[in-house]
Structures are given as C-alpha cells and as structure tokens.
C-alpha cells in the first residue's frame, strides 16, 4: 500500500487463487490510482487498468492493462462523452465478463469527470453484480477548477454507478483543499487522495481475506448493502494514531476530516463500517470507547466493526478506515392500542381517505363568555386586551337582512350583535 507509515511488502501470489479481489481502475484517473496502488500489492489481489486511450495505458507500468474500443475509438478517448463510452462497454461485454469471472470482490476505482469512467463503470459493475460479485465502487470527483462540464459528468456518472453497485464511496477531491494550505501543491493533493484509496482497499480486503481478530462477514455485507439500493453515495475517512489516548486522537481526526464534512456525515449517517488495523496491544475497551463516542453523536446509527492485525505496525500504532453511508435500517414501529391509551396520551393521527363530511350548522349558538371587569378598565394608558369599552372605537350601524351564502355558517354573537359580518357586506357590496 502507498502510505508513508508503512513499508512496502513483496508481492505474494497464490498457486490456485480460487478466491481473490479484483481492483480495476477505469479511465485515466482510475488507471493512475490503481497503478499507484499496485506498486505495493496485496496477497490475493489482481490489479487491472481499463481505458480506451492507448497513450494512457502506455504509462501504466505496475498492473495489467486492457484497451477497450480499439475498432471504434482507434486508441483514443471518448471525448468526455459517456454515451459513446457506454456503447463501447456494451460491445465489450464478453471481455468484461471474462475479467470478473471467479472474482470475490470488485473494487471499482473510477474518475467521473470524463467519459470512459462514467460510461464504462456502470456496465462493468452490472456485469460483476449479475455474476455474484460484491461490488465496491470508489468514485473520484474532479476539482472545481477542472470546470463545470466535468462536474456535471461526474454527477451523471455517479447516478448510474449507484444503480449497479453494492457499496458506493464518493471521494470529492475538492474537499481535500479545505484541509491544506492555500498554496498546496496540486500533485500532492492527488497523491494524498490515492493513498487514502489504497489504504481503504487494502484494509477492507485484508479483513475479509486474511485471518482477522474480528472479521467482517461477507454474507452480512451482502444483506446490509443491497445492490442497486443506494439512494446516495457514502463517504470515507482514514485516521492513524499511536500511544496513549489514540482512540481520542482518531475520533478528533474524523471530526475534522473534510471528506466527512467535518463530522456532519457522522451525525447523519444511517450505517457506519469501521475497520481497525492494529498491532499486538489492541484492547477491547478501545473498540467500546470508539462505539460509545459514535453513539453519543449519533445514537441511532448501525455500526459494523472489523478488526485486523497487521504485523507491520510498531508498538502502540493503530489505524482505522471509516465508511459512513446514509442508508438506515428501518425498525418496525411499536403500534399502540388506542383503547389502552392513558388520559394524557395523544393518539397518532389517523389517515383520512376521501372528502370530509360537511359540518352541520349550529342552530343554537353558545352564549358569549362573560367578560372580566378588568377588561373594561383602562390600565397604563391602554385599554383592555379585547378593546371593549374603548370610546375611540366607533359602532357600525348595520342593517343586513341576508348574508347570502354565509347564512349557513355558524354565527358568533356578543350582547345580541353578530360579530362575524363580512367586510364587503358592511360596505354594502351586492352578492351575486
């Protein structure tokens, strides 16, 4: 994995890899990320870059490459046209089906600003999901400075990826600029983004594939993250710490992380997947401490936790990958018996179907309430709250025989006088 705090490990391969993960980078951005991840390969993982641009693929040195649309695009890109890219992917269905055959988990890394990423990724995700592969899509949003056209392509592409994947993680590069200096190096931001993606892929796969302290169950993940049921993409963050108080340091880092909207995503998330990478000194109390901090911010969140031991960690080191999704498990509400309601309880409102029945006209209006004597007494230069007895309030001499349609309304009387006479009747306007 590409990360300053880790050392590279020699690539390890299985003689008969019946179960393996496939990390595919689609398009220029996705291919560059996977090429960087593959410099420090994980055991049981295959790395592939997909693109139609021959020059982009020629730069890939650390992983396999597959060129799409050779006959139609002739070694060039799709010109940021997702429809052209989608057509190319459909014509290459056989190639994509062979690619995902026998795969256990597909990590689909794609940049959504252009055409190949947004056009090919949904097709590949659909083919993989139909083959029984668990699809985790990591979608990279462009920087704002790259233009509104690329941002629009990203939104359209992600909508399509959401419909075909089990778990979608959105990685907005623009948010990384909120945590860096104003004069931050543009290339350094890309490297930092790639490092986080590499760390996430490695942590999730190692917890599933290698013997773990607390492994994630693939059956549970499939039930929790249903394919095509994503209303919106989740967010991811990574934090590391060492020594005393490391859980507190990691928690504070998550609250300051731009990809989590500075903690707002944690408070609104419906489900959180937390993967601990630890050494020999990890304690169960630390996991409980993290869960209690999370529940204090979001008591209704559903939490899935995995713990993996990493021999490369020095004493006291710990790292954590957190994936927050908006999906929330709907629990069955407890239905109360209206007959058993207490006197102080308010029953839930019933749904009304159809039009309401017409309210009958009151033949005997209730008598006017008696007024308190204080309402006729002037206090502090002001008359009583109802204004009765105010000499400045003139009396209207109304002689109304019929109120037209308002004859059917319930009347309000005070001292024998009806009060609710419509204004246009007082002004002697004719009713028609």
- With cut-offs at 50, 70 and 90, classify the pLDDT of residue 109: very high
pLDDT at 429: 59
The token pair that represents 376 in the structure block: 């006729």
- CA pair distance 224, 329, nearest whole angstrom: 9
Q: Which of 19-28, 284-293, 331-340, 389-398 shows the lowest mean pLDDT across its residues?
A: 331-340
Using an 8 Å Cβ cutoff, are 282 and 318 in contact?
yes
Instruction: Please determine, for residue 98, whether its predicted confidence score (pLDDT) is greater than 60.
Output: yes
Reported as a pLDDT band with limits 50, 70 and 90, residue 425 is low
Closest C-alpha to 245, from 318, 321, 323: 318
pLDDT of res. 244? 83
Residue 2's pLDDT is 36
* Residue 215, pLDDT score: 82
Beta-bridge partners for 108: 24, 137
Which of 10-14, 262-266, 390-394 ranks highest by mean pLDDT?
262-266
Conformational region of residue 415, where left means phi above 0, alpha means psi within -120 to 50, and beta covers everything else: left
User: What CATH architecture applies to the domain 234-330?
Assistant: 2-Layer Sandwich (3.30)
Indicate the Cα dihedral angle 31, 34, 38, 39, nearest 10°: 80
Domain ranges of the chain: 1-233, 234-330, 365-432
pLDDT digits (tens, 9 = 90+) for 157-189: 888 888 899 999 888 877 766 655 566 676 777
- State pTM to two decimals: 0.68
Q: pLDDT per residue over 281-318, tens digit each?
A: 888 888 889 999 998 889 989 998 888 887 777 778 88
- CB–CB of 1/37 below 8 Å? yes
Q: Which fold has domain 1-233?
A: Rossmann fold (3.40.50)
């Amino acid at each position: 994995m590409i990360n300053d705090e880790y050392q590279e490990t020699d690539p390890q391969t299985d003689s008969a890899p019946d179960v393996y993960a496939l990390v595919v980078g689609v398009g220029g951005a996705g291919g560059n990320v996977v090429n960087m991840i593959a410099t420090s390969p994980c055991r049981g993982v295959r790395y592939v870059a997909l693109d139609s641009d021959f020059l982009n693929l020629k730069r890939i040195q650390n992983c396999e490459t597959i060129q799409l649309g050779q006959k139609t695009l002739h070694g060039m890109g799709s010109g940021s046209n997702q429809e052209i890219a989608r057509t190319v992917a459909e014509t290459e269905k056989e190639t994509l089906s062979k690619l995902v055959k026998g795969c256990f988990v597909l990590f689909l890394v794609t940049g959504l600003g252009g055409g190949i990423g947004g056009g090919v990724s949904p097709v590949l995700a659909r083919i993989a999901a139909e083959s029984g592969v668990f699809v985790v899509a990591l979608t990279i949003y462009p920087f704002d400075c790259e233009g509104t056209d690329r941002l629009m392509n990203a939104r359209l592409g992600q909508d399509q990826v959401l419909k075909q994947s089990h778990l979608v993680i959105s990685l907005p590069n623009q948010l990384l600029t909120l945590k860096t200096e104003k004069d931050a190096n543009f290339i350094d931001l890309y490297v930092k983004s790639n490092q986080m993606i590499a760390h996430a892929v490695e942590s999730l796969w190692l917890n599933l594939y290698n013997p773990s302290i607390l492994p994630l169950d693939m059956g549970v993940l499939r039930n929790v993250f249903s394919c095509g049921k994503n209303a919106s993409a989740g967010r991811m963050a990574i934090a590391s710490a060492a020594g005393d108080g490391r859980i507190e340091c990691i928690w504070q880092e998550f609250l300051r992380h731009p990809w989590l909207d500075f903690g707002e995503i944690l408070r609104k998330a419906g489900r959180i997947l937390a993967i601990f990478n630890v050494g020999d000194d990890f304690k169960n109390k630390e996991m409980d401490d993290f869960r209690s901090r999370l529940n204090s911010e979001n008591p209704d969140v559903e939490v899935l936790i995995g713990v993996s031991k990493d021999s490369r960690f020095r004493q006291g080191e710990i790292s954590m990958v957190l994936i927050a999704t908006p999906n929330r498990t709907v629990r069955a509400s407890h239905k109360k018996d209206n007959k058993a309601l207490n006197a102080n309880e308010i029953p839930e409102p019933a749904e009304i179907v159809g039009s309401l029945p017409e309210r009958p006209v009151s033949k005997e209006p209730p008598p006017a309430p008696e007024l308190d004597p204080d309402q006729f007494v002037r206090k502090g230069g002001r008359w009583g709250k109802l204004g009765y007895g105010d000499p400045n309030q003139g009396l209207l001499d109304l002689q109304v025989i019929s109120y037209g349609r308002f004859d059917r309304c319930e009347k309000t009387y005070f001292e024998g006088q009806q009060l609710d006479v419509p204004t246009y009747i007082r002004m002697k306007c004719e009713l028609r």
